[in-house]
Structure 1
Amino acid sequence: MRYYHALSLISLLSLTACGGGGSETETPTPVTPTPPSLTRCEQGSELTVVSTSSSIEFMTEQNYFAHQTATIIAKIENRDSSGLDFTWQQLSGPTLVLTSIKSPVLAVQFAEAGSYSFSVNIQSSGLNLTENLDLTVSEATSSLLTIRSGHQVVEGNNASFRIDRTGTNGDQIPSNISWCIASGPEVKLDVVNPERPQFVAPTVDTDTVSILRATGTIAGESASGEVIALITNEAPITSQYFDTPVARTFAYKNSSPYADAIETCVYSNQLTSPCSTSKLPLLGQLSGGTDKAKIMDRVLVSHQWMGDNFETFIDQMDPNSDFANLLQSVTSVVISYDVRPSFYWVVTGAIYLDPNDLWLLAQERDVINEAPDYRSNFSNELGFIMPWRYVKNNEYVSDTTPRSTRTNRTLTQLSPDLSSLLYHELAHANDFFPSSTHSSLGINSQTLLDHFQRRANAGELISDLLTVLFPLTSNEMFNLAKVSFKGDTANSVQKAYMPDDITQFFSNDIASDYYAYSSTREDVAMLFEESMMSHRYGILRDVGVTDRPENATAQTIIVDWGQRGRIGQNSLQDRAAFVLESIFPTMNGANLISNLPTPIAMTKGESWSENLTISLLEKSQKSSSSQQHSTSEESRVHPEIRVSGDRHRREN
C-alpha cells in the first residue's frame, strides 16, 4: 500500500541522510490485515464506447444525471494511456469545475439537466488529435448515492472514494452501506469506514476500467450509486528510490526549460540514479531564482489545480518573500494526490507537499487520496499523547472542516496550514543547502547527494552546528521518539511512563516540540517553523503532555503540562536565534526571538479543549461574561487532536 512507498524512502534516507543525527535503524514495515475481496454485483455495468473520426474513443456512462458525479474517459484506440498528454475543456453547458483536465479520466458533477459539450486534446510524439463529445444530462428519477470521485490510478497505487452525506447540513449518513464489483478486475476493498472505501489498484496488463457499486439507505429509502476508476498499466519499476508505484505527474509549466528534468528526476518509478546539478540545479544556483515564473517552472503536479493554487499562494500570500527566498534551496516542488505526509528529500533536492494543505474548492479536495499516514499506530502502547495546535486569539487557525463536509475555503483560511508546512519543509532544504552555499556548489556532474555527504561528513549542516552548540539532553525523550516516529517497539519502562514523567523529561529540556527528538534535522525545522509563524503571523503553537484515554479527543484528553508559544521561552531563545540567522543571514534572529510573546502555561487537570482559552484576552472575557463564554464554548469547533510530527515525514 502507499505507506510501503513512504517506508522505502525513509529507509534510503537512513542510508543517505545521516550525519549529525547519530546512528539510525531501519523503520519496520507495519503489518496490516489484507482486506477481503469484493463480491460481484448481481447485475453488472458497462461503459459505452463512442467512436470519432480519428483514433480517439470516448468511454461514457450509459446515463448521466443532474447533481450527480459523472465520469468520461478518453483513449486512443488499441493503445494504453501511458506516454500520452491529455487536455480537457468544456465547450458548452452550465459551467462545471474541472479538476482532472490533464488526465484520461474527466470527473465532473453536472450542475443541472441539459446539454453539455467537451473537447479533449491528446498529444505524444507524432500525435496531436482533438475531438469533441456531446452529452445529454437528465433529472434523476430515483434516489442515488453520490460517490466521489472517478479518477485514474496507476496499478499498485492506493485509491479511495467517499460517499456524500445528505441533509441540509450534510449530517445525514447513509446507512447499511455495502459495496460490490459492477465491472472490472478483482479488488480487495478496505471498508472499515464504508463511507470511505480504500483499495490498492490491482496489477493489470492493459488500461482497465473498474466500476464499483455502493448500495445503502437514505431516510429509509434504498439508494445506489457507482464510481469509476481507470487502472492504468505502467512501465516496470526500475528505480531503487521510488520502488513502489507513484502517481502520474507532469510539469505544471510545460514550457519550462526544466520540464523534462523535473518529470524524470524527482518523482519517477524509472529514476535509477540521482540527477546531477547540471541537469537540475537548485533554484538559488541560477540568477533571478526568486522570480515567481522561475519558481513555477520547477513545480510538478498530479493535477493542474494544485499548481494553480500554489502559484496563487506564492503570488498573494508571501508579502515578505519568505517562501520565494527559502525555495532557492530546492530543485523542485512536487504536489501529488498520493503524497502523505509531506517531506523534503536530499536525494532529489525537492520538497513533496500533501495537497490537503492546498485545496480551495470542495471538488479539488475530492481527488486527494485518503490513505492514512503509515505511522498512525506507532505510539499506541505509550501512556501519553503530545498534542499540538496553532492558535490565535484563543481560536484554532488551522482548517477544521472534516472531510465528510464538502465546502470551499479561502486563501486566508488555507494560509496558516500551508505556511507552517512550507516553513518546516523548506527549513530542511536550507539546513542542508543554505543560501551561503549556493555559489560554491557548482553546476556540474556532481549530485546534491554528493554535496550533502561532503557537508554532513564535515559537520557543516546547520543542524550539526546546532547540536554542538545547544544540544538536547533528555535521553528518555530521544528513546521515546524512536517509538513514536520510527516504529521501535516500546519497552516495559516506556510503557509504564505516566504523563507527569514525560512532563519532567520534556519541560526541563530545550526542545520546542516532541518531534525535535526524532532527528537533529527535525529539531532545526521545528524551531524555524514555530519562530516564523509567531513572528510573521502572530500565530502561536500549543504543545502539551496529556494522558491517553481509550477514546482520545480534545475533550477527553487531560493536560498534565502544556505551553502556548514555547518558542518564546528564555531557555530556547539562543537555539532559535541561531537557526533563524543561519537560514536568513540578514535577519536579526536574537532580536526577533526576544520580542516573541512570553509563553503561557496551560492549566493542569483541564482537558485539551478547555485549555484552548488560556490567553489574557479570553480570561478577561471570562470574568466579564461567563454566560457569553458558555455559549461560545458550546458552538466552538473541536477538531480531531493533532499529534506531534503528524504533518511531516522524518528527515534524518
Structure 2
Amino acid sequence: MLCLLLAACGGGGGSDAPAPAPAPDTVPPLGTQCLAGSVARLALPAAATAGRNQELALLACPGARLDRVQWRQTDGATLALGSARSQALSLAPAAAGRYAFGLDFTDARGASRSGTAEFTAAAPGGSAALVIRGEPSVWAGGQTSLRAWVDSLPVADYPLAKVRWSRIDGPEVALGDTAQWRVIFTAPAVAEDSLLRLRAEVTLADGRSLVQDFSLLVQPVPAPAASPLFGAGNLTSRTYPYVATSPHAAALRECIYTPALSNASLCTLSRLPLLGTETRGDLPTVEQVMARVLVSNDWMGQRFEAFLREQDTSGDFRRLLNATTAVVIGGRVRPAFYWSATGAIYLDADYLWQTAAERDSVSEAPDPRSDYGNDLAYASLWRYVLNNKSAGGRSPVLERASRDSAALIPTLGRLLYHELTHANDFLPPRSHLLLNGSLRVYEAVPANTASEQLRSQLPFSSQEMVDLGRVQFFGAASTAAQRAYQPADIVRFFSTDRVTDDYAYSWPTGQSVPREDAAMLAEEALMQLRHGVLRDVAITPQFLTGASADQPVTWGQRGRVGDLAIKPRVAVVLAQTMPWLPAGFTSGLAAPLPLRAGLTWGQNLDQTALGQG
C-alpha cells in the first residue's frame, strides 16, 4: 500500500493592488514514474516483510537535480532513519504494520517540494530472516559495501554457510568476490539516478536456503569539475552541513568536499576563515565547531558532538580545531587526512560509530594502501595499550558490539591528535590572527613550521626507511635490495633513528619536508600524557595470512616516544602546535619498555604478567 502527495511551498506579501494570480505549478504530483515535467519519482518496496530490509528512494527525473532532502516518519512503530537527509533509506521494521513518511526536498530552481509515502510490512514467516545492511545510496565510481546477515545465526555458524551475490536488475556492475557475507564493489557509471538491485542467496549448514534483495540508489556525480581536486583514488562522496542553519553552510558546501572543487575554485580565507580567526584564538565552543561540520549521516555529527562534550575535558581537541576551516565525517572517507588545499580534516566514520546500526552504514571497503609493500620480507605492527590490554581495537563485525564515547579515545582521539597536528603544523596558532583573507590556506603557511624545525634542527637519518616508506605508503615498486631486507635489517635502520613509527617516513617525492613525523610524535605523546595510553611498535617477519597476534616479534618497544633521543623532538612539535601546554610537559613521558624478542605480538601484550614470570 502506498500514498503519495506533492506540494510546492512559497511566500508572498500584501499591497493595495490585487495580487496577480500565481502561475500554475506545472510539476506533476510525485509518483512512482517520471511524467512530463516531473522532477522526481519514488521507488518503494513492492512487498515488505517485517524483519527484512526495505529500501525507499527518491530519484531525480532525467535532467532534474534534487537537494536538501529530509525524510520524517509520521506513522508506525518508530524506526531509525539513519540516512534521513539522503535520497534513500534502508529500513528493517521489527513489527508488521503500516509505516508512513513525510518527505521534503528542493529542486534545481530551489523550489521547496514535499510529499508522503507509506508501505505496509507483512508478518514474517517461520523461517530465519536474511537481512542486507549497508548505506542505501552511492555516487557513481565510489567504492561501497553491503553485508548479509541472519540475525538468529550463531557467530560460529557464519563460516559454515555458502553465500552467493548477484545482480538482479539495474546497471551492470563488477561485484568481485561474490562468495562472502560481505560484498565490496565500485558503483557503476550512470547518467541519471538508477536503482541497482542485488541479491544475496545463502545456504546454511543445516540446509536451509534464504534469499534477500537490496536496492541501491546509484547517482551520477553532481557537476564535477573538468580537473577535480578530488580525482581518481580519492573521490568525494555525499555529505551535507550537519547544522543546516550554520552561517557557514553555503561555504561548506562549495569549498570543502565537492566534485566541483578545482585548483581554480579553491576558496580564500575570507570566504571560509579558520575557526581560530573566528574565535580570536580563544577556546572554541562546541557549537562553533559543529557549525563547520559536514557529515554523510546525522549520527556522525551527533557522535562527534558528544565526544567533544564528554571527552575533551582538557580542551585540546577544540583548541587544535582552531587551525581548521571544516571537519568532514564520511562513511566512505578512507583513509582519513588533513588537506592544506582546503584547511579541513577528513575523518573516516569508522572511528566514530557506537552502535552496530551505525557501523552498518560505514563502508567496509579497505584502505587503498593496505596491499602496499606485501612483497617485503618484514611487517611493522602497532597498537595502543591501556593497563596491559589492547585499547581501541575494532571488535569483530559479527559480534555487532556497541561502545561508549570513552572507548573512542584510542580511536577517534588519537586520530584527532594526528590530523589536527597537521593542521597546526601548516597554520600554527601564532598565525591565526595574522592571516591574509585574500589567500588560500596553502598560500598562507608561514615559515619555520614545526616540521621545518624538526628537519633543520633534529632530523631523522635513515634514507633506507624513507625509500621503504615510498613503497609502503605510496605504492612505489620495491627494488630487489628492498625485498632482500630481513626483519633484523629493518630493526637496525629503525631502532637507532629518532622516530616513533615507520609512518614518520611517509615522505612523498617532491615534498620539501616530511609532515607525518611531527604528527606521529604529537599523537603518541598526547595519548600517553593526557590519557595514560601507551603505544607499542614492533618489527616482525612478513605475513599475508593469519593473525598479527601470532607473529613472532623481532624487536619492539612500548612507549618509544619517551626515548631520550626522541623527547626533544616532541618538545619542538608541541611548542609550535600546542603552545598552551605547560612548560616541561614532555618530561612526563615514561621511558620506553622493550618488548620481548621471540615471543609473539599477542604474548607481548601483558608486560606485567611477563615480568612476574
- Scaled by the length of structure 2, the TM-score of the pair is 0.88
Residue of structure 2 equivalent to 1:475: 463
Question: How far apart, CA to CA, are the structure 2 residues paired with 1:226 and 1:548?
Answer: 40
Q: How far does residue 471 in structure 1 lie from its aligned partner after superposition?
A: 0.8
1:132 CA displacement: 2.9
Whole-Å separation in 1 of the counterparts to 2:478 and 2:535: 28
Is 1:80–1:233's contact at 8 Å kept on the other side of the alignment? no
* 3-state SS of 2:604 partner: helix
The counterpart of 1:132, out of the listed 116, 135, 144, is: 116
1:157 matched residue in structure 2: 142
- Provide the residue aligned with 1:96 in structure 2: 79
Give the stretch that moved more between structures: 140-149 or 484-493. Answer: 140-149
Moved more, 108-117 or 343-352: 108-117
Measure, in 1, the Cα distance between the counterparts of 2:124 and 2:172: 30
State the match for 2:69 in structure 1.
86
Kept in 2, the 8 Å contact 1:549–1:556? The answer is no
Structure 2 SS opposite 1:122: strand
Relative to structure 1, the CA distance from residue 280 to residue 259 in structure 2 (aligned partners, 3 Å threshold; closer, same or farther) is same
Matches within 5 A, 1:496-535: 496-519=484-507, 520-535=514-529
Instruction: Give the drift of 1:53.
Output: 5.2
CA separation of 1:179 and 1:248: change in aligned 2, threshold 3 A: same
Structure 1 residue 199: deviation in Å?
2.0
TM-fit CA distance, 1:192: 5.9
Question: Compared with structure 1, are the counterparts of its residues 532 and 478 closer, same or farther at alpha carbon in structure 2 (3 Å cutoff)?
Answer: same
Q: Secondary structure of the equivalent of 1:611?
A: coil
| Correspondence for 1:205 | 191
Asked if the contact 2:163–2:180 (Cα under 8 Å) also holds between the matched residues in 1, the reply is yes
Match of 1:418, SS state, is helix
The answer on whether the counterparts of 1:82 and 1:233 sit within 8 Å (CA) in structure 2 is no
User: Quick check: 2:135–2:363 contact (8 Å CA) kept in 1?
Assistant: no
Picking from 244, 248, 266, the partner of 1:274 is: 266
Equivalent residue number for residue 69 of structure 1? 53
Q: Does 1:396 align with 2:390?
A: yes
8 Å CA contact 1:399, 1:413 repeated in 2: no
Distance change in 2, residues 1:440/1:79 (3 Å): same
CA distance in 2: counterparts of 1:450 and 1:133, whole angstroms: 50
* Cα offset, 1:49, TM superposition: 7.7
User: Which residue number corresponds to residue 147 of structure 1?
Assistant: 132
Moved more, 525-534 or 464-473: 464-473
Question: Would the aligned equivalents of 2:374 and 2:544 in 1 still touch at CA under 8 Å?
Answer: no
Q: What's the CA shift for 1:79? A: 5.6
1:52 aligned onto 2:5:
yes
How many residues get paired?
Answer: 565
Equivalent of 1:191 in 177, 197, 203: 177
Maintained 8 Å contact 1:337/1:355: yes
Q: What amino acid sits opposite 1:70 in the alignment?
A: Q
Residue pair 2:193, 2:218 contacting (<8 A) in 1 also: yes
Name the SS for the 1:612 alignment partner.
Answer: coil
What is the CA deviation profile of residues 335-377 of structure 1, one whole-angstrom value per residue up to 9, with x for unaligned ones? 1111101000000000000000011121111111122111111
The answer (yes or no) to whether the contact 2:131–2:212 under 8 Å persists in 1 is yes
- How far the C-alpha of 1:193 sits from its partner, in A, is 5.5
Give the residue type in structure 2 aligned to 1:98.
L
* Separation in structure 1 between the aligned mates of residue 580 and residue 121 of structure 2, nearest angstrom: 60
Partner of 2:421: 427
Shift of 1:463: 0.1
Distance change (3 Å), C-alpha of 1:150 and 1:258: closer
2:523 and 2:347 mapped to 1: Cα distance?
Answer: 16
**Which residue of 1 is the match for residue 157 of structure 2?**
172
Work out the CA distance in 1 between the residues paired with 2:544 and 2:427: 44
Kept in 1, the 8 Å contact 2:131–2:148? The answer is yes
User: 1 CA distance for matches of 2:278 and 2:599?
Assistant: 53
Supply the distance in 1 between the matched residues of 2:394 and 2:426 (Cα, whole angstroms). Answer: 33
Percent identity between the aligned chains?
36
1:449 matched to 2:442: yes
- CA distance 1:338–1:82, change in 2 (3 Å): farther
Deviation at 1:81, TM superposition (A): 6.9
Task: Evaluate the alpha carbon distance shift between residue 150 and residue 357 of structure 1 in structure 2; reply closer, same or farther with a 3 A threshold.
Answer: closer
Q: Return the alpha-carbon distance in structure 1 between the equivalents of residues 378 and 505 of structure 2.
A: 16
1:102 and 1:271 map into 2 onto residues whose CA distance is 22
Question: Deviations 1:373-393 (Å, cap 9, x if unpaired)?
Answer: 111111111111110000011
Q: Indicate conservation of the 8 Å contact 1:80/1:207, yes or no.
A: no
Secondary structure of the residue aligned to 2:98 is: strand
User: For 1:594, which of 576, 587, 596 is the aligned residue?
Assistant: 587
Equivalent residue, structure 2, for 1:234: 221
Q: Which of residues 308, 326, 330 in structure 1 aligns to 2:324?
A: 330
User: Which deviates the most, 62-71 or 80-89?
Assistant: 80-89
Q: 2:275 aligns with which of 275, 283, 300?
A: 283
Structure 1 counterpart of 2:604: 611
Cα pair distance change 1:102/1:609, threshold 3 Å: same
Residue 609 of structure 1: SS of its match in structure 2?
A: coil
Is 1:484 the equivalent of 2:468? no
1:269-306 deviation per Cα after TM superposition (whole angstroms, max 9, x unaligned): 11132111110111111236712111111111111111
SS of structure 2 residue aligned to 1:68: coil
Q: How far has the Cα of 1:220 moved from its partner?
A: 1.3
CA distance in 2, matches of 1:313, 1:351: 16
Q: In 2, Cα distance between the equivalents of 1:400 and 1:107?
A: 25
Q: Report the secondary structure of 1:190's partner residue.
A: coil
Distance 2:63 2:350 in 1: 30
Q: Deviations over 1:89-130 (max 9, x none)?
A: 222322222210101111122122223222222234442233
Give the counterpart letter for 1:221 in structure 2: R
Name the CA distance, whole Å, in 1 between partners of 2:570 and 2:181.
44
Note if 1:364 corresponds to 2:347. Answer: no
Distance in 1 separating the partners of 2:560 and 2:201: 50
Residue number among 432, 438, 456 corresponding to 2:432 in the alignment: 438
Would you say 1:121 and 2:104 are equivalent positions?
A: yes
Report the secondary structure of 1:482's partner residue.
Answer: helix
Which whole-Å CA distance do the structure 1 matches of 2:95 and 2:385 have between them?
A: 41
Which digits, 9 at most, give the CA deviation of each residue in 1:204-232, with x for residues without a partner? 22211111111121231111110111111
What is the CA–CA distance in structure 2 between the aligned matches of 1:284 and 1:447, rounded to whole Å?
Answer: 15
Q: CA deviation at 1:143?
A: 4.2
Could you say which residue in structure 1 is the equivalent of 2:168? 182
In 1, the alpha carbon distance for the partners of 2:572 and 2:191 equals 55
Q: What residue ranges of structure 1 are gaps of 5+ in the alignment?
A: 1-47, 624-652
| Contact kept in structure 1, 2:562 and 2:590, CA below 8 Å | yes
Residue of 438, 449, 464 corresponding to 1:461: 449
Contact 1:323–1:422, Cα closer than 8 Å, also in 2: yes
* Cα distance between partner residues in 2 of 1:80 and 1:94: 37
Write the distance in 1 (CA, Å) between the matches of 2:502 and 2:59.
Answer: 50
Q: Using the TM superposition, give the Cα deviation of residue 82 of structure 1 relative to its aligned residue in structure 2, in angstroms.
A: 3.3
Secondary structure of residue in 2 paired with 1:197: strand
Structure 1 residue 555: deviation in Å?
Answer: 3.3
Choose the corresponding residue for 1:259, options 244, 249, 252.
Answer: 249
Q: What is the match of residue 570 of structure 2?
A: 576
Cα distance in 1 for residues equivalent to 2:357 and 2:236: 22
Q: Is the 8 A contact 1:252 1:296 kept in 2?
A: yes
**What amino acid is the match of 1:226?**
D
Query: Displacement of 1:250 after TM fit?
Result: 0.8
- d(CA) in 2 for partners of 1:408 and 1:81? 40
Contact 1:81–1:207 at 8 Å: present in 2 too? no
Aligned-partner Cα distance in 2 for 1:417–1:481:
23
Is the CA contact (8 Å cut-off) linking 1:355 and 1:368 kept in structure 2?
A: yes
**Residue 164 of structure 1: SS of its match in structure 2?**
strand
Q: Distance in 2 between matches of 1:550 and 1:198?
A: 20
Letter of the 1:275 partner, please give it. Answer: C
Distance 2:410 2:154 in 1: 26
Q: Residue 504 of structure 1: CA displacement? A: 1.2
CA distance in 2, matches of 1:554, 1:205: 44
CA distance in 1, matches of 2:151, 2:420: 40
- Judging changes above 3 Å, is the alpha-carbon distance between structure 1 residues 73 and 81 closer, same or farther for their aligned structure 2 residues? farther
The answer (yes or no) to whether the contact 1:265–1:275 under 8 Å persists in 2 is: yes
